[in-house]
Amino acid sequence: MELTSLTRELVEIASHEDETAAGDRIERWLREQTDATVDRDDHGNVLARRGDGEPSLALVGHHDVVPPDDSQVDADGYVVEEHDGRLYGRGTADMKGAVAAMLCAFRDARVEDYELWFASFVGEETGGVGARAAIEDGFVPGYAIVGEGSTNYSGPGVTDVVVAHKGRRGSTIEVTGTAAHASEPEAGENAVYRAADAVDVVRELPFPETTVLGHEMRGSLAVTGIDGGTAWNVVPDSCTVTVDERTVPGERAPLERVEELPGVTVEVDQDLPPMACDDGAFADLVLRVAREVQDGRPEHVLKPHATDAGWLAAAGTSCLICGASEPGEAHTATESVSIDVLERCYELYRRSAEQFQP
């Protein structure tokens, strides 16, 4: 089958350190298989456009992957194996399989009165580097279906439609004090004690909450590390505390409250945005299509991790997520994807493009 062979071909191309070769193959396929306007931007993203009019719908993926396990590599590149109806290898689930399905759907969909885009970004696994660059260059489609995983969320064997996902804010609490000899602790200001007070504040902060299209979302907040002190007989003059927050659309935990304590400041190290679909009609359309292409009954669901959909949504794109990857598949030594589900996703992408209402 074409989709299976295209997925295998893309997965075999190493793209954890340099996405160039994978981008080359995607670009060449688009030029050979479609009459679309194809662009390879300065960042390595591959963009293609068919049709004319407003608004625009984009099928969005990424062709970078996380570093493979040793078992997923040989002298020729990445290893791809097929058995029991699944393809195994780094990137099969996250997300070259979905990229292949989107490529075929982009080519095959009948498009009238609007622009259909295909986009495959670099650097998704390193903070959305490619998506952010493309957005800065003006790529902000009206609507997007992002091919990250949505299979087996509401139940086994079902490919659902994600209407929102959490973001991630990683912060460092920097605490300063005054060093002193531990035999005279009152002569200093113990930074670890101050850090402990800051941890107590974090512990009591409310988790962020919101509702998206009738679904309640609740984030989280956790201290994940603490480091301070230089010797057993010295009152420490500095300490750091790391905090992981899973954010929800429009809400953040009030972490800045720790700065009310003496010697305490907060620095945000990473802030991957959450996503919420702001167009119920679009969400309903894609869910209706999802129910057409499978025997199970998919639902609107929530996703726990950040994706490039967050960057697009923050820029003004109405986003949904639909893809073949299942919970627990991505980034593992046994990463795999169901061939039947890839075919299902192809139909979902193609029919969604054809039924999209401009």
Catalytic site positions:
64, 124
Distance CA 326, CA 262 (A): 46
Distance CA 338, CA 344 (A): 10
Cα distances from 92 to residues 65, 67, 120, 330, 335, in angstroms, run: 10, 13, 15, 8, 7
Distance CA 192, CA 178 (A): 11
Residues 70, 73, 78, 82, CA torsion sign: negative
Q: Taking Cα atoms as reference points, which of 238, 220, 228 lies closest to residue 170?
A: 220
Task: Return the ∠ at Cα 183 (arms to 178 and 188), rounded to 5°.
Answer: 15
Query: What tokens does 292 get?
Result: 């057409």
